[in-house]
Amino acid sequence: MKKSEMTEAILAAKTRKKLAWEQIAEKTGLSPVFTTSACLGMNSMPKEHADKLCAALGLPGEVSEALQAFPHKAWDKTIPTDPVIYRFYEALNVYGETMKLLIGEKFGDGIMSAIDFSMTIDKQPDPKGDRVVITMNGKFLPYKVF
């Protein structure tokens, strides 16, 4: 089973069972962000958790096997058109250099890992309109001098 077929099967079962990503993640024992990313094909999921997800959604073993397979993390290099994704693209274009300079001042020359990494997405009520709170937490990796 291809990752794209896996994702279609998971999304169909999610809709059929009327479950939110947080509910599915609870059943796997993993975070909602990681669970969703793995279901969309961008991360591999350990067998124990993949099997739990498939049991919760009533999906066959081939979906579990596809969840466990290593992903090919390629994406379209064009500017995204989905409004939610585009706003992140826009924010990184506006604030990316600022983030790089401030990380450099605080940590030195290096990068934030997207492998030793976690992320949470929360809702913060606000009288002027609810706020989206995204916290990214990645290990700092200094560049090696040789």
For the annotated catalytic residues, the residue numbers are 87, 90, 113
Residue 114: HSE in the Cβ half-sphere, 13 Å Cα cutoff: 4
Q: How far apart are CA 6 and CA 52, in angstroms?
A: 15
**Residue 121: beta bridge partners?**
134
Q: How many CB atoms sit inside 10 A of residue 66's CB?
A: 23
Q: How far apart are CA 105 and CA 91, in angstroms?
A: 21
Tokens of 33: 């962000």
Say which residues have a Cβ less than 8 Å from residue 25's Cβ, sequence separation at least 6: 31, 32, 34, 35, 36
